[in-house]
Amino acid sequence: MRRRSFVVMAGAAAMLPMGARAKPEEVEALVRAITGGAPARPGRVKLDVPELVENGNTVGLTVSLGEDVPKDAVLTDIHVFADGNPRPGVVHFRFGKLAGVPKVATRVRLATSQTVTAVAVFADGSCWTDQVAVLVTWSACLD
């Protein structure tokens, strides 16, 4: 084997997946743990993430509340999950007494094409969800 081709192959091997991927059922189980068994209802929370992603290493993600939220509803938490990453959890935001507009932006890694789920928890215990199916053409080097 020529030295250069060996180096290329070794590099490729280093980036090969270890085979570990979260499953949609894992995300469902995590969501159920938050809601206390009930499925989260679609609505109230809005997940903004591009449907077509070129580079999974850094993907802009914004969670906010929709217009269907009653004025007296108090947001306490937003959880974000990704069912195709090595681990399903992405981030958990907690909103305190001094929180302003219920909107958070960050940047995430997406290992492959997958469904991203946001779950918003309100002070009255109700849980609402939004999902986006994302097509990733160049995956994050998670593995």
| Chain residues in the site for other proteins (CB under 8 A) | 10-11, 13-14, 18, 20, 57-59, 82, 85-87, 89-110, 140-143
Query: Residue 111 or 127: which CB sits closer to other proteins?
Result: 111
Query: Residue 8 or 41: which CB sits closer to other proteins?
Result: 8
CB of 42 to other proteins, least distance (A): 22
Residues whose CB falls within 8 Å of the CB of residue 33, separated by 6 or more in sequence, listed in order: none
Beta pairing, strands 103-108 & 45-48: unpaired
CB of 47 to other proteins, least distance (A): 14
Query: Residue 28 or 77: which CB sits closer to other proteins?
Result: 77
Please give the Cα distance from 23 to 41 (Å, whole number).
Answer: 20
CB of 56 to other proteins, least distance (A): 9
CB of 99 to other proteins, least distance (A): 6
Query: Residue 41 or 63: which CB sits closer to other proteins?
Result: 63
Q: Residue 120: enclosing H or E segment and its boundaries?
A: strand 114-122
Q: Is the Cα torsion angle 29, 35, 37, 42 positive or negative in sign?
A: negative
User: Do residues 85 and 142 make contact, with C-beta atoms less than 8 angstroms apart?
Assistant: yes
